[in-house]
Amino acid sequence: MIENIVIVVGSVVGIIFCIVLMILSIQNYIIIKKQCKNEEQKSEKERLDDVIRFYILATQLKYKIRSGWDEKHWHVSKERLESVAEHVYGTCILALSIYSEFQVNYDINKVIQMLILHELGEVIIGDITPYDNITPEEKAEKEHEAMKDILGNLIMKDEYLSLLLEFDEKKSNEAIFAHHCDKLEADIQAKVYQDMGCQNPLNQQKNNVVFNSQKVQQIIRDGAKSTFDIWYEYDKHLYDDDEKFAKILDYVKDIDTQNVINI
């Protein structure tokens, strides 16, 4: 009796597995077929137009300043603040360095594509922080619509949009890894500004919308003395599921990033 049940259950599981594989294969076939169709239908002039349109739009991130450092937020005292494009570059470099030293078993090319794409919506909607009176759901909706507009008629637009959605929803190990890189890069940049002497003292942060949040005020009551102390306490829980990211954050906390090239 038990053997029959095991056989039946095994057969059902096998059938379900085959169905899932079939569905995934069909989905991939449809995507490839659609791309081929779009490719066949596009003239050379249209391809050239779409290449340059996407390039010009996407590279506008070079001129978009990261909101976290501006006067409304942490008010970093530096003549030229980090752009969104520089942040994206930093996330990719961080991903490559962690991939090299910790030998993570992920598709690093997929990770890099996610990191390159994940901020493109900010070309249109700007760099919205959690303290700008917009919910995460509203931000995601605006960002996805903006992404569709930026991708335009690229042959691979559906694949690129799918990568963005996978990143936002943390559907895979690559998405989670990329998401951690995105967050940790900001933490590291906060420490870099701290070590450069560009972070204003906490007693000069009265107009800072982040500083005045209840969570940040509690971190200060718990003993935070600097801007980076707040960043550290605010974000460290994000890496509870990945020891290597937690160790990197702790390492950055304990060093002077301005002397790191001498290590």
CA atoms of 66 and 36, how far apart (whole Å)? 38
Residue 218 located in a structural domain: yes
Q: What is the dihedral of CA 95, 98, 100, 104, to 10 degrees?
A: -90
Residue 168 located in a structural domain: yes
95, 178 Cβ separation under 8 angstroms: yes
pTM (2 d.p.): 0.83
CATH number of the domain where residue 181 is located: 1.10.3210.10
75, 208 Cβ separation under 8 angstroms: yes
Residue 151 confidence (pLDDT): 97
Whether residue 23 has pLDDT greater than 60:
no
Whether residue 4 has pLDDT greater than 60:
no
More confident residue, 16 or 125: 125
Residue 38 confidence (pLDDT): 56
Residue 113 located in a structural domain: yes
Residue 206 confidence (pLDDT): 83
61, 88 Cβ separation under 8 angstroms: yes
Residue 192 located in a structural domain: yes
Residue 7 confidence (pLDDT): 55
Q: Which domain holds residue 52?
A: 42-262
User: Residue 183: how many CA atoms within 13 Å on its side-chain side?
Assistant: 20
Residue 29 located in a structural domain: no
| pLDDT bracket for residue 12 (50, 70, 90) | very low
Residue 26 located in a structural domain: no
Residue 228 located in a structural domain: yes
How far from the centroid of its chain's Cα atoms is residue 24's Cα? 26
Specify the DSSP class assigned to residue 65. Answer: B
CA atoms of 217 and 224, how far apart (whole Å)? 9
| pLDDT bracket for residue 76 (50, 70, 90) | very high
Whether residue 104 has pLDDT greater than 50:
yes
Look up residue 115 and give its two tokens.
Answer: 């990191």
69, 76 Cβ separation under 8 angstroms: yes
**Coil, strand or helix: which one is 209?**
coil
Look up residue 73 and give its two tokens.
Answer: 């937020």
In the chain, the number of structural domains is 1
Residue 80 confidence (pLDDT): 96
The tens digit of pLDDT for each residue in 157-207 reads 999 999 999 999 998 999 999 999 999 999 999 999 999 999 999 999 988
- Residues above pLDDT 90, as percent of the chain: 80
100, 84 Cβ separation under 8 angstroms: no
The tens digit of pLDDT for each residue in 117-149 reads 999 999 999 999 989 999 999 999 999 999 999
